[in-house]
Amino acid sequence: MSVQSPAVVGPLAALFAQTRADGRAALIGYLPAGFPTVPGAIAAMRAMVEGGVDAVEVGLPYSDPLLDGPTIQAAVDHALSSGVTTTDVFDTVRQVADSGVPTMVMSYWNPIERFGVDRFADELFAAGGAGVITADITPDEAGEWVSASDRVGLARIFLVAPSSTDARIGLTTAATTGFVYAAAVMGVTGARTHVGSAAQSLVERTKRATALPVCVGLGVSSGDQAAEIAKYADGVIVGSAFVRALLDAESLDAGVDAARALAADLRAGIDRSGRPA
């Protein structure tokens, strides 16, 4: 299979150029907008950046998150019950992007389609968004999103999984313009005690198909795990562990501090791992 030239757009291009120059993987952190409150989520995301996160995924709360485990579902349910809207998501992106890091939205397709695909692209771009990770739509079903994201210059990030065939990986990476999201394990999101060998195999298979950065997510919860993944991936994505830090905190301030501390631990793991393959 031939390797395609990378197509990294917007702020993500500068991020991965910098991390390559630094000889390390990028650290990408996720939290849903509006959890525990809209201002609280913004404070936690900015604290994550202070702790060492290089880019942030802002989750768009959705009532049927099929790929999310109980930790993220609990946070999303809380945000929805508090009345969080897509406009709140854009406001969150704007304030997190002001901290100087690429800020993306992670969303299921239904909320984007319901909001209006072109309108969503326009408003996210206006808020300073870097791109969108679409969790449940494949490139062959995403023609409208391909057009809208190309029009405004948003990165378009699709997922590959251990079950993906080489042909599917090729199709997916050909349509991707930010980085490839490699789901390390089969199943829903959630912190795990270890990330199995499937992650490295998936990264190796994906890198045979594309020169795009390949970032690994689903299951990472500690600096040691981040160090392990950073040896072979271009980025380490952490979500449930940040959500858990807020869920377990006795107060918002304590949760913000816990998110900052977790980011620092994860970043330290990445920094000691050396240059990714």
**pLDDT tens sequence across 80-106:** 899 999 999 999 999 999 999 999 999
- Any idea which residues carry the catalytic annotation? 57, 68
H helices of the chain, in order, are 11-22, 38-51, 70-81, 86-97, 109-115, 117-126, 143-152, 166-175, 198-207, 223-230, 240-247, 252-273
Give the other-Cβ count within 10 Å of 224's Cβ.
15
Q: By C-alpha distance, which of 81, 80, 28 is closest to 56?
A: 28
pLDDT > 70? residue 187: no
Cα 277-205-30 angle, rounded to 5 deg? 70
Residue 210 DSSP one-character state: B
**pLDDT tens sequence across 38-86:** 999 999 999 999 999 999 999 999 887 677 778 888 898 989 899 999 9
Residue 58 DSSP one-character state: E
Dig out the tokens for 126 from the structure. 């206006």
Q: Name the class of domain 11-273.
A: alpha beta
Q: pTM for this structure?
A: 0.92
Single-letter residue type at 147: S
Q: How far is CA 7 from the centre of its chain?
A: 18
